[in-house]
Chains A and B, each alone.
Chain A
Amino acid sequence: DQQVKQNSPSLSVQEGRISILNCDYTNSMFDYFLWYKKYPAEGPTFLISISSIKDKNEDGRFTVFLNKSAKHLSLHIVPSQPGDSAVYFCAARGETSGSRLTFGEGTQLTVNP
């Protein structure tokens, strides 16, 4: 079963506007959530994270919101730039051996000039 889901395979926004990427999870034992960004032919790179004890974390243009009761997190990018065009993966870390990450399917963000 898919414990982390990103229901939107793609998102297109205009430069300068807000991009909102969503992620839902089912496992209440996840204690840490991360967003990764991936360009074609490159490995995923870490973008921003949030602990399960917080509801918001901000880093420059990027903000992650966590709603534990809804088991939902979102990534806000403001303002969006063409260089933000990439695939964004949501990931969750559990308290299992190895603290491995469980990833969502990814959302392709396209920011149009």
Chain B
Amino acid sequence: DAGITQSPRHKVTETGTPVTLRCHQTENHRYMYWYRQDPGHGLRLIHYSYGVKDTDKGEVSDGYSVSRSKTEDFLLTLESATSSQTSVYFCAIRDRTAQTAFFGQGTRLTVV
């Protein structure tokens, strides 16, 4: 267990509502990532952070924003949820010198 907690683990929301997913780490790792997993696409990077208040876009960032005000927390916000954002979302963390990233348990989000 790499000390990553995602919340909530499951959420159902309506189209057009804002949603925030939280990733919390206890490892003090510098890098944090948000991925989504969809059948046939594997894991695709949404946004990542390389330090407090330092974030950048990944390959599927449209419709998502992130914030990192503390080392331990990385928030993913869907400004106005759409059905295409129904997915399983994974947070990952990586230490600056490490080669591997460690993943959380995931959040299953359903937009109806």
Partner-B contacts on A (CB < 8 A): 4, 6, 9, 32, 34, 36, 41-46, 49, 89, 91, 93, 97-106
Say whether chain B's binding surface is mostly helix, strand, loop, or mixed. Answer: strand
Pull 19 A–B residue pairs with CB atoms less than 8 Å apart, ordered by A.
Answer: A4-B42, A6-B42, A32-B99, A34-B99, A34-B100, A41-B105, A43-B90, A43-B106, A44-B90, A44-B103, A46-B100, A46-B101, A49-B100, A97-B56, A99-B94, A100-B33, A101-B43, A103-B42, A104-B42
Interface size on B, residues (CB 8 A): 25
Assembled-state Cα–Cα distance A94/B28 (Å): 23
Complex interface: chain B residues within 8 A of A9 (CB)? 40
CB distance from B79 to the nearest CB of A (A): 23
When each residue 88-103 of chain B gets 1 if its CB lies under 8 Å from chain A and 0 otherwise, what string results?
0010101000011111
